[in-house]
A and B are shown apart, each in its own frame.
Chain A
Amino acid sequence: MFFTTIKGLIAHKLRLFATALAVTLGVAFMAGTLVLTDTVGRTFDDLFGNVYKQTDVVVRSQAAFGAGAVVQRGRVSESLLTEVRAVPGVAQAQGGVFGYARLIGSNGDALGNPAAGAPTIGGDWTESARLNPYDLVTGSPPAADDEVVIDAASANIGKLAVGDTTTVLVQGPPQRVRISGIARFGTVDSPGGATVVLFRHTVAQKLIAEPGKFDTISVVAAPGVTQQQLAARVAKILPASAEAVTGAAMTKESQAAIRQAMGFFRTFMLVFAVVALLVGAFMIFNTFSITVAQRTRENGLLRALGASRRQILASVLLEALAVGVIASLLGIVGGLGVAIGLKELLGAVGIPVPAGSVVFKPATVVISMVVGVGVALLAALSPARKAAEVPPIAAMQRGLVGSTGYGSKRRVYIGSGLLLGGLATLLIGLFGAVSEGVILVGTGALLVFFGVSTLGRTMSLPLSKLIGAPLPRLRGVTGELARDNAMRNPKRTAASASALMIGVALVGFITIFVSSTKASVEQAVDQSFIGDIVVTSGGGMSGGVDPSLAKRLDLLPEVANATGLRQGFASVEGQVEFVTGVNTATAFDVLDIVPIKGRAVDLGRSGVAIRQDVATNKHLAIGDVVSIVFRDTGAQQLRVAMIYAHGQFVGLQEVHPSYLLGMPAYDANFATHFDMQINIKQAGDVSEAAALAAVERAAKPYAGVSVLNRAGFKKQQTAPLNQMLALVYALLGLAIFIALLGIANTLALSIFERTREIGLLRAVGMTRAQLRSSIRWESVIIAVQGTVLGLAIGLFFGWALVGALEDEGLTVFRVPYGSLSIIVALAAVAGMVAAIGPSRRAAKLNVLKAVTSD
């Protein structure tokens, strides 16, 4: 039996290749992702290991609130440093600060992308070489108040050299600085692709943090004192608001943070691996089903000659095993390529991965092999069973090829069950108040795919009929043949279409999701923004533009009102929330906030405004006291001074602000004073162009900001979506490409089966062109069928997700009929392309040989 399997494999190298390719790609994605995340994880582990190698204890403020990625810590008093130095066993102690600083390159453009990519960090140059994680490459430490050291990556990108003068955006007006030195962070040019500016100690406190305060105090132990002992001793003299952490613990914490950041990326990539594997499974199932059907007589003969059912089953599974093993091995090798490619891609988008050898864990090989081979075997199981069921008498029979009809009742029940279960699981995951929502959504989506493909055979016949309906009229007997052939084996047509369906469903879903998001953003801008011009700071959550800009803009004669917006984290009654700072004098003229109770002027230094539905939920009324914990000032009691409706701030972290503070209250409780966005209403008597020009002139010194009119603002807010769309399209395009190969494969096998029929058709007068056209249209029917099913699923996924995210600002569900029509048209074209090879081969068949073949 083994011998026949191997012979069969060698005889069909091309088919084997096409079938294996899908699994290979899936495994390559998976292995690549594992290799990359392992590699990045390892290099960052090493990096942080080095950074804290010399630090035995770190003193910092206790977390004010929050957990995980949003831990908010205040700063400790500078005076603690002297006390820490006095603790027995302390050999050295050094204070450090960090905050937001954004460097301007030699061409005047701001470096980094704090809003959507690499962060921009400011800090102080640590005098102690032992404790300083940065190593100077050229130049010297900052010696004057206007001197800075910058990271080597930024020096390179911004074309800045030692001795150059440039600008740094910090708190307060932009600062002119001179570059005294360029440094590397351990083994990399910059930590995680961040732009780094290091000032002198006191300057850093003033410009990017708070005077008289440190973010951390790093401590070196005297010989013979362990980290734990030292931490315990230092902890004793600290106030309750501060804590002492060992260097080892700091290393672990940083490593864990990086792992968490990588987690999203890992999940994202693995989703595509699963998609490719799923498509691969369908292809294997289909190819094996067809070849098993074609070998019915052969298997019957083997049975007649004494082969047992188990032996037939084993021979088919053996073939699948070979496909799985070859595909997985190729996939693992390809995975290394994928890992290197992804590493370059990360570097290209500004997240350089530290240099270091590729980490290729045995676990990666094992996992990839098990998954790849498992998928192949599972997919081939049902065809193998079919093969084993062939009775010996089949050796003597003819023409028992394939199955027709709608599929059994049981199949319909199982398919419907899977589909309904999938839909329910998906909806519970999206709308239900469950903690494992993401897993439920993923499982639900998978079940939907399985359900639809199980029902595929039943749906395929009417679908083919419907899709092919215009063909006889358009293409005559050629079209009729195409439709009849697509309908003659619904099981095969459905399986080919299912492979395509998966990719198209996800493309359709993403397209609908993105178009709904865009529509929602546009609607939000139209409804909530009653101004004319927006200035976005480009500073992300941690930075922004100095409030002086808003003041200057408000004074311009071309401007009626200019109002700055800020947003930060706070803990409201134990929950981490965003609080938004508004200028009560100007905000209500430019923003769509409608006070319902109370007055904005009453907000003052200790008042808070609450959105109506939040207030109702929390049973809060005007005059009630709310306890809010701020990072920099701790717990504060604020009085509810106003309740408002509406309010939608596009471009801020929280789009529907729940809590508003007046600027006096905001500034009193947040140490950093940045505007994230400035909304402007132009004066009544000037043109938009004139107002824009005036605002641009005034904003000129504040590099990194964008001055936008409504249309420009909409575009800026939706631009990242286009990038995401392109990336997802590229990844899913691969899955669709594989599925098209699958259609070509199926067609080729079907044509092989129909050799005699094709001979007859050619003999009685079908031209080569007619034959090719007929096969092309058959392919189009299959492709369009997969696409239509996929889009139906994608439409549902899109609708469900948009509905689930309504609270996050996705208020519009928009189906981009234009784009979806293009997808269907492309599918039809792709179907034609997939048919090129098979139809050519069919047309080249020798008529006489075909018509007299067995």
Chain B
Amino acid sequence: MTTPVLFHEARTFTSVAAAARTVDATKIYGIGETEVRALDGVTVAFARAQFTAIMGPSGSGKSTLMHCVAGLDSLTSGRAFIGEADLSALNDRELTILRRDQVGFIFQAYNLLPTMTAAENLTLPLRLAGRKPDREWLDTVVEVMGLRDRLHHRPSEMSGGQQQRVAVGRALATRPQIVFADEPTGNLDSKAGTEVLEFMRNAVDHMGQTIVMVTHDPMSAAYADSIIFLADGRIVDEMAHPTAGRVLERMKQFGE
């Protein structure tokens, strides 16, 4: 399954090193006694056409980091960028349009609107933008995701794995700068989970997509090019070319 043309296309707009990054990102919940530092001065860059996993024990701030970089949440201090756009300088409307055009999302569950078919869900961000979908690109996505025969089904008529594949497809449909995935396989059995992870891996390898995934599953993290480990709101470690065994070892140090 090689798509050299698209691969080439996706690479051409790579002029900046990082698809998204943060500088001294700090997020504090509550005040005074109840103050919780979810992020404590995180500076990180997510390289283009790379699959990065964020790991860490519960409460380490991995989801918060992702939400803040994705423009779903705001930082208390520090800055977050998608491409060259400084998220803290954008109002709600600008942020929404940025998410719509430049960011793809894959949540753990409930990724799809129940009233829409797979095809309609797939093109939702494009249609929200009032843009005509690029037929050729969509066909490719559908093909790669193996969704051809499910296009006119509603989510209630699809399996969990199929639903997540549609979600991955939707995230790719707009050719975003970056795709954020929050425990994308958390609700799936291992076969369906593996399938979804392989599709994500494919998207990075053959379409040049940048993907950032939050997970606590070493098997999933092993699909990434690199891993950053968070604990208590700080980056405590990084790992390139991970394997499940090495990730598991590293995680054990957190006492999980």
Kindly provide the distance from the CB of B174 to the nearest chain A CB, expressed in whole angstroms. 8
> For the complex, what is the distance from the CA of A837 to the CA of B129, rounded to whole Å?
25
Most chain A Cβ neighbours within 10 Å, of B105, B115, B125, B170: B115
Contact B100 A765 (CB under 8 A): yes
Contact A851 B92 (CB under 8 A): no
Residues of B within 8 A of A847 (CB): 72
Pick out which of these stretches binds chain B: A19-27, A339-347, A452-460, A755-763.
A755-763
Scan residues 457-477 of chain A and give those whose CB is less than 8 A from a CB of chain B. Answer: 476-477
> For the complex, what is the distance from the CA of A770 to the CA of B127, rounded to whole Å?
11
Contact A764 B100 (CB under 8 A): yes
Contact B111 A766 (CB under 8 A): no
Pick out which of these stretches binds chain B: A262-270, A480-488, A635-643, A730-738.
A480-488
Residues of A within 8 A of B73 (CB): 848
Judge if B110 is at the interface, Cβ distance under 8 Å: yes
Kindly provide the distance from the CB of B114 to the nearest chain A CB, expressed in whole angstroms. 8
Kindly provide the distance from the CB of B131 to the nearest chain A CB, expressed in whole angstroms. 10
Main secondary structure on A side of the interface with B: helix
Judge if A767 is at the interface, Cβ distance under 8 Å: yes
Contact A767 B97 (CB under 8 A): yes
Contact B93 A767 (CB under 8 A): yes
> For the complex, what is the distance from the CA of A770 to the CA of B129, rounded to whole Å?
10
> For the complex, what is the distance from the CA of A485 to the CA of B127, rounded to whole Å?
17
Contact A481 B115 (CB under 8 A): yes
Judge if A15 is at the interface, Cβ distance under 8 Å: no
Scan residues 462-514 of chain A and give those whose CB is less than 8 A from a CB of chain B. Answer: 476-477, 480-481, 484-485, 487-488
> For the complex, what is the distance from the CA of A333 to the CA of B120, rounded to whole Å?
54
Residues of A within 8 A of B99 (CB): 763-765
Chain A residue nearest to B180 (CB atoms) is: A763
Judge if B37 is at the interface, Cβ distance under 8 Å: no
Scan residues 111-162 of chain B and give those whose CB is less than 8 A from a CB of chain A. Answer: 111, 113-116, 120, 124-125, 127-130
Fill in one digit per residue for B97-109: 1 if any A CB lies within 8 Å of its CB, else 0. 1011100010100
> For the complex, what is the distance from the CA of A123 to the CA of B128, rounded to whole Å?
81
> For the complex, what is the distance from the CA of A764 to the CA of B124, rounded to whole Å?
8
Chain B residue nearest to A847 (CB atoms) is: B72
Residues of A within 8 A of B92 (CB): 767-768
Contact B67 A848 (CB under 8 A): yes
Residues of A within 8 A of B96 (CB): 762, 765-768
> For the complex, what is the distance from the CA of A487 to the CA of B93, rounded to whole Å?
29
Residues of B within 8 A of A766 (CB): 96, 100, 128
Chain B residue nearest to A770 (CB atoms) is: B128
Task: Specify which of B67, B110, B129 is in contact with A760 (CB 8 Å cutoff).
Answer: B110
Kindly provide the distance from the CB of B121 to the nearest chain A CB, expressed in whole angstroms. 9
Using A764-B170, A767-B96 as known contacts, say yes or no to A757 and B113 having CB atoms under 8 A apart.
yes
Contact A851 B127 (CB under 8 A): no
Contact B107 A851 (CB under 8 A): yes
> For the complex, what is the distance from the CA of A476 to the CA of B132, rounded to whole Å?
11
Task: Specify which of A763, A765, A769, A848 is in contact with B129 (CB 8 Å cutoff).
Answer: A765
> For the complex, what is the distance from the CA of A27 to the CA of B130, rounded to whole Å?
50
Residues of B within 8 A of A770 (CB): 128
Kindly provide the distance from the CB of A404 to the nearest chain B CB, expressed in whole angstroms. 10
Contact B72 A476 (CB under 8 A): no
Most chain B Cβ neighbours within 10 Å, of A477, A485, A765, A768: A765
Scan residues 80-104 of chain B and give those whose CB is less than 8 A from a CB of chain A. Answer: 92-93, 96-97, 99-101
Fill in one digit per residue for B168-190: 1 if any A CB lies within 8 Å of its CB, else 0. 00100000000000000000000
> For the complex, what is the distance from the CA of A477 to the CA of B96, rounded to whole Å?
16
Contact B110 A756 (CB under 8 A): yes
> For the complex, what is the distance from the CA of A769 to the CA of B97, rounded to whole Å?
12
Residues of B within 8 A of A487 (CB): 115
> For the complex, what is the distance from the CA of A848 to the CA of B95, rounded to whole Å?
13
Kindly provide the distance from the CB of A263 to the nearest chain B CB, expressed in whole angstroms. 53
Contact B111 A760 (CB under 8 A): yes
> For the complex, what is the distance from the CA of A760 to the CA of B67, rounded to whole Å?
13
Contact B113 A760 (CB under 8 A): yes
> For the complex, what is the distance from the CA of A377 to the CA of B207, rounded to whole Å?
62
Fill in one digit per residue for A770-812: 1 if any B CB lies within 8 Å of its CB, else 0. 1000000000000000000000000000000000000000000
> For the complex, what is the distance from the CA of A756 to the CA of B109, rounded to whole Å?
10
> For the complex, what is the distance from the CA of A768 to the CA of B101, rounded to whole Å?
16
Contact B97 A476 (CB under 8 A): no
> For the complex, what is the distance from the CA of A476 to the CA of B120, rounded to whole Å?
12
Chain B residue nearest to A484 (CB atoms) is: B115
Task: Specify which of A476, A761, A768 is in contact with B113 (CB 8 Å cutoff).
Answer: A761
Most chain B Cβ neighbours within 10 Å, of A481, A487, A756: A481
Fill in one digit per residue for B55-77: 1 if any A CB lies within 8 Å of its CB, else 0. 00000000000010000110000
> For the complex, what is the distance from the CA of A668 to the CA of B34, rounded to whole Å?
103
> For the complex, what is the distance from the CA of A768 to the CA of B100, rounded to whole Å?
13
Kindly provide the distance from the CB of A374 to the nearest chain B CB, expressed in whole angstroms. 38
Contact A765 B101 (CB under 8 A): yes
Using A766-B96, A767-B93, A767-B96 as known contacts, say yes or no to A485 and B115 having CB atoms under 8 A apart.
yes
Chain A residue nearest to B100 (CB atoms) is: A765
Task: Specify which of A764, A767, A768 is in contact with B105 (CB 8 Å cutoff).
Answer: A764
Residues of A within 8 A of B129 (CB): 765
Residues of B within 8 A of A763 (CB): 72, 99, 105, 107
Kindly provide the distance from the CB of A343 to the nearest chain B CB, expressed in whole angstroms. 53
Residues of B within 8 A of A762 (CB): 96
Contact A476 B127 (CB under 8 A): yes
> For the complex, what is the distance from the CA of A476 to the CA of B99, rounded to whole Å?
19
Task: Specify which of A484, A756, A768 is in contact with B93 (CB 8 Å cutoff).
Answer: A768
Kindly provide the distance from the CB of B181 to the nearest chain A CB, expressed in whole angstroms. 13
Contact A477 B127 (CB under 8 A): yes
Chain A residue nearest to B170 (CB atoms) is: A764
Using A488-B115, A847-B72, A851-B72 as known contacts, say yes or no to A765 and B110 having CB atoms under 8 A apart.
no
Residues of B within 8 A of A756 (CB): 110
Residues of A within 8 A of B101 (CB): 765
Residues of A within 8 A of B125 (CB): 764-765
Residues of B within 8 A of A765 (CB): 96-97, 99-101, 125, 128-129
Kindly provide the distance from the CB of B184 to the nearest chain A CB, expressed in whole angstroms. 14
> For the complex, what is the distance from the CA of A487 to the CA of B115, rounded to whole Å?
9
Residues of B within 8 A of A768 (CB): 92-93, 96
Kindly provide the distance from the CB of A492 to the nearest chain B CB, expressed in whole angstroms. 14
Chain B residue nearest to A488 (CB atoms) is: B115
Most chain B Cβ neighbours within 10 Å, of A476, A484, A485, A760: A760
> For the complex, what is the distance from the CA of A486 to the CA of B143, rounded to whole Å?
33
Residues of B within 8 A of A488 (CB): 114-115
Kindly provide the distance from the CB of A57 to the nearest chain B CB, expressed in whole angstroms. 82
Contact A477 B93 (CB under 8 A): no
Kindly provide the distance from the CB of A99 to the nearest chain B CB, expressed in whole angstroms. 75
> For the complex, what is the distance from the CA of A481 to the CA of B115, rounded to whole Å?
8
Chain A residue nearest to B120 (CB atoms) is: A480
Chain A residue nearest to B68 (CB atoms) is: A848
Chain A residue nearest to B104 (CB atoms) is: A764
Residues of B within 8 A of A851 (CB): 72, 107
> For the complex, what is the distance from the CA of A766 to the CA of B114, rounded to whole Å?
16
Most chain B Cβ neighbours within 10 Å, of A487, A761, A848: A848
Most chain A Cβ neighbours within 10 Å, of B93, B101, B127: B127
Kindly provide the distance from the CB of A292 to the nearest chain B CB, expressed in whole angstroms. 21
Question: 25 A-B contacts, Cβ less than 8 Å apart?
Answer: A476-B130, A477-B124, A481-B113, A481-B115, A484-B115, A484-B116, A488-B115, A756-B110, A760-B110, A760-B113, A763-B72, A764-B99, A764-B128, A765-B96, A765-B97, A765-B128, A766-B128, A767-B97, A767-B128, A768-B92, A847-B72, A848-B67, A848-B72, A848-B73, A851-B72
Closest 3 pairs (CB-CB, A-B): A765-B100, A484-B115, A477-B127
Extra contacts besides A764-B125, A847-B72, A848-B73 (11): CB < 8 Å: A481-B113, A485-B115, A761-B124, A763-B72, A764-B128, A765-B96, A765-B101, A766-B100, A767-B96, A767-B97, A848-B72
